[in-house]
C-alpha cells in the first residue's frame, strides 16, 4: 500500500512462496526512511522479531504525529473512503473471492497476483 506494488514476486504460487520466504523485499528508493523502516519490521522473516499485533506499531517513527485516540474514536476521516452504494453489499471486495461459484476453484495467475505479498502469520497471534 505504501508503494503501489508488492514486495515479493513470482510467476507461480511456488515461486511467490519462495520469494516470500527467501527474498529481501524490494523497496523503491523514493520511499521515506520511516516508511522503509516500518516495512522492514512488518516483513521481517523471523516471526519473533517481526513487528506484531501489540501496540509497538503505534510507537513507530512513521506514526509519530498520529493521534491514535482520534483514530480509534473514528474522528479522523479516511484518506480515501470507499464508495458505498448499499449498506449490506460487498461491492468493494475482489470479485473472485465474493462469488460463491468461485469457491474451491483454482484461480488464474492474474488473480493470484492480487494476493502477492501475503506472508506467514505467527501462530502466537491467532
We report the CATH number of the domain holding residue 71 as 1.10.510.10
- Comparing C-alpha atoms, which of 44, 21, 48 is closest to residue 125? 48
Instruction: Identify the domain containing residue 16 by its residue range.
Output: 1-77
Is residue 58 a part of any domain in this protein? yes
Residue with grid cell 480509534, as numbered in its chain: 72
Non-local (6+) Cβ contacts of 25 within 8 A are: 7, 8, 39, 40, 43
Q: What is the pLDDT of residue 96?
A: 45
CA atoms of 62 and 4, how far apart (whole Å): 18
Q: Is residue 117 part of a domain?
A: no
Give me the pLDDT at residue 92, please.
61
- Residue 70: the pLDDT is 93
Which helix H or strand E contains 110, and what residues bound it?
helix 109-112
Q: What total of structural domains would you count in the chain?
A: 1
* Model-wide pTM > 0.75: no
- Determine, yes or no, domain membership for 8: yes
pLDDT at res. 45: 87
Per-10-residue mean pLDDT for the chain, 126 residues long?
Answer: 80 87 87 89 86 80 89 86 72 52 64 73 61
pLDDT of residue 98: 46
Amino acid at each position: 500500500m505504501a508503494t503501489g506494488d508488492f514486495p515479493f514476486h513470482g510467476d507461480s504460487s511456488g515461486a511467490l512462496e519462495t520469494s516470500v520466504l527467501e527474498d529481501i523485499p524490494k523497496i523503491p528508493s523514493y520511499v521515506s526512511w520511516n516508511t522503509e523502516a516500518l516495512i522492514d519490521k512488518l516483513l521481517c522473516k523471523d516471526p519473533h522479531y517481526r513487528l506484531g499485533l501489540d501496540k509497538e506499531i503505534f510507537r513507530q517513527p512513521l506514526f509519530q504525529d498520529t493521534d491514535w485516540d482520534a483514530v480509534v474514536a473514528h474522528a479522523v476521516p479516511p484518506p480515501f473512503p470507499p464508495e458505498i452504494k448499499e449498506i449490506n453489499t460487498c461491492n468493494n471486495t475482489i470479485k473472485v473471492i465474493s462469488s460463491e461459484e468461485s469457491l474451491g476453484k483454482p484461480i488464474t495467475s492474474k488473480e493470484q497476483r492480487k494476493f502477492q505479498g501475503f506472508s506467514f502469520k505467527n501462530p502466537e497471534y491467532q
